[in-house]
């Protein structure tokens, strides 16, 4: 187990390994890691496919190459392990890395059930190691700015919330056996909508109850391809959530109507400041409205937006926002969405406990 000294932790590059060398590692994590090269040293990659591993290692000049996570942890003692494997493997990989003493940065969806998530992060300890989940949308400058305005009360109380992730995924997307399966990717709400749902919760606050429908409209898959939900928030606001894998015009949309303004984000996968807008209510003072403008640096939101914070949290031995309960919140809402869709009942936050079949599986079936 690698246990760096206090000064060592603060000043040397964070020794990092990546597990899984697929598209999200190639297109998301490695560019972010390279952008932080002064703070992060990528010492190893892990993949069960030796050919994929060799190509990935060559392209990114990674010297340590392993087909076993266990072997890599023993040989390299990394500070941080990035888990970019299929969701069905997250519980096993995160738990093993935490047990070694390493922090973990885990791709979404974090796990395929609340039971898996709770088991996965049981190895977190005060001061670390922690296992933050990749929810990069909440870390962009637009989200930081408007979250501060909405949650501070400057805009008045939230009244209406709309959260839409309507994307298009053709039949070829679902060809891998782990996709379109409640034991594989968890369906569109988990595999696609979870980012926007997480962002919504950071802005609109905790939810109170949800009623939902889900349907398989046109894809030959074991999960739904469309779901809709109505949510009541603790604040009293009402909201809707729509997730789709069959919408030809792909878009992600979040809108919050408060007493004094409408805050809106429309984008696909990544956003810039220009993708956000804040429209004041009629009669609101123009000077106040001008103060709502976002003057934070304009930056496309991607994995780098969050990785900076993860590295800073590691150095400070501070719990990251998307670890523990922060990483669980969106998963709990999605679990409740499916419980409501399958049972026809309204589901309240906190009611899905260890004795509930939906705690153990998104569709409430025996594992």
pLDDT value, residue 4: 47
Mean pLDDT for the chain overall? 94
Phi, psi angles (nearest 5°) of residue 88? -65, -20
pLDDT value, residue 200: 98
The answer to whether 147 touches 138, Cβ cutoff 8 Å, is yes
Report d(CA 340, CA 31) in Å as an integer. Answer: 39
pLDDT above 80 (res 268): yes
- The stretch 243-249 carries a mean pLDDT of 98
Report d(CA 299, CA 329) in Å as an integer. Answer: 26
Buried-state track 130-140, b at ≥16 Cβ within 10 A, e below 16: bbbbbbbbbbb
The CATH number of 6-131 is 3.40.50.720
Tokens matching residue 213 = 């429908």
pLDDT above 90 (res 25): yes
Identify the DSSP state of 268: B
Please state the domain extents for the chain. 6-131, 137-300+335-348
Q: What percent of the chain has pLDDT over 70?
A: 97
Residue 362 CB: number of other CB atoms within 10 A?
A: 24
- Which band of pLDDT confidence, cut at 50, 70 and 90, is reported for residue 64? very high
- Nearest one of 47, 180, 124, 112 to 360, comparing CA atoms: 112
Class of CATH domain 137-300+335-348: alpha beta
Residue positions counted in the chain: 367
pLDDT above 60 (res 99): yes
Same fold? 6-131, 137-300+335-348: no
Report d(CA 218, CA 182) in Å as an integer. Answer: 17
Taking the CA atoms of residue 122, residue 128, residue 134 and residue 140 in that order, the dihedral angle to the nearest 10 degrees is 140
Tokens matching residue 92 = 């096993």
Which burial class, exposed, middle or buried, applies to 7 when counting CB atoms under 10 A from its CB (0-12, 13-18, 19+)? exposed
For residue 343, what are the contacts with CB-CB under 8 A and spacing of at least 6?
Answer: 364
Percent helix / strand / coil, the chain, rounded to 5: 40, 25, 40
Report d(CA 225, CA 45) in Å as an integer. Answer: 33
Q: Which pLDDT tens digit goes with each residue over 151-168? A: 999 899 999 999 999 999
Q: Which pLDDT tens digit goes with each residue over 181-234? A: 999 999 999 999 999 999 999 999 999 999 999 999 999 999 999 999 999 999
Residue 35 has, within 13 A of its CA and on its CB side, a CA count of 14
- The stretch 274-292 carries a mean pLDDT of 84
| Degrees, nearest 5: CA angle 304-35-43 | 100
The answer to whether 202 touches 147, Cβ cutoff 8 Å, is yes
Instruction: Specify which residues 211 forms β-bridges with.
Output: 230
Q: What is the SS3 assignment for 152?
A: helix
Report d(CA 245, CA 3) in Å as an integer. Answer: 44
pLDDT value, residue 285: 77
pLDDT value, residue 290: 72
- Which band of pLDDT confidence, cut at 50, 70 and 90, is reported for residue 7? very low
- Which band of pLDDT confidence, cut at 50, 70 and 90, is reported for residue 291? confident
- Which band of pLDDT confidence, cut at 50, 70 and 90, is reported for residue 366? low
Report d(CA 36, CA 267) in Å as an integer. Answer: 26
CA 72 to chain CA mean position, Å: 25
């Amino acid at each position: 187990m690698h246990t760096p000294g206090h000064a060592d932790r603060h000043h040397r590059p964070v020794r990092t390994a990546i597990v899984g060398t697929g598209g999200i590692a190639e297109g998301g994590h490695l560019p972010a890691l390279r952008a932080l090269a002064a703070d992060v040293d990528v010492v190893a990659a892990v993949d069960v496919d030796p050919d994929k591993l060799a190509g990935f290692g060559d392209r990114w000049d990674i010297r340590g190459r392993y087909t076993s996570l266990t072997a890599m942890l023993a040989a390299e003692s990394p500070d941080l392990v990035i888990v970019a494997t299929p969701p069905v493997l997250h519980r096993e990989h995160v738990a093993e890395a935490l047990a070694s003493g390493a922090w973990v940065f885990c791709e979404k969806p974090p796990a395929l059930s609340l039971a898996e998530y709770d088991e996965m992060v049981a190895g977190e300890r005060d001061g670390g190691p922690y296992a933050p989940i990749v929810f990069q949308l909440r870390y962009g400058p637009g989200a930081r700015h408007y979250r501060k305005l909405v949650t501070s009360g400057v805009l008045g109380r939230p009244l209406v919330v709309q959260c839409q992730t309507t994307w298009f995924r053709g039949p070829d997307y679902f060809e891998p056996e782990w996709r379109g399966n409640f034991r594989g990717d968890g369906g569109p709400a988990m595999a696609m909508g979870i980012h926007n749902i997480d962002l919504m919760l950071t802005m609109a606050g905790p939810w109170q109850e949800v009623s939902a429908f889900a349907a398989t409209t046109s894809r030959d898959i074991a999960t739904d391809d469309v779901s809709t939900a109505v949510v009541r928030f603790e604040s009293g606001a009402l909201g809707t959530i729509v997730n789709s894998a069959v919408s030809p015009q792909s878009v992600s949309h979040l809108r919050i109507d408060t007493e004094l303004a409408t805050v809106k984000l429309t984008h696909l996968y990544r956003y810039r400041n220009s993708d956000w807008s804040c429209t004041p209510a009629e009669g609101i003072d123009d000077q106040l409205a001008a103060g709502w403008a976002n003057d934070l640096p304009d930056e496309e939101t991607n994995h780098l937006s969050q990785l900076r914070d993860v590295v800073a949290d590691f150095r400070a031995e501070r719990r990251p926002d998307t670890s523990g309960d922060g990483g669980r919140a969106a998963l709990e809402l999605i679990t409740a969405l499916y419980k409501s869709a399958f049972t026809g009942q309204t589901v309240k936050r906190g009611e899905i406990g260890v004795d509930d079949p939906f705690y153990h599986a998104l569709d409430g079936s025996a594992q």
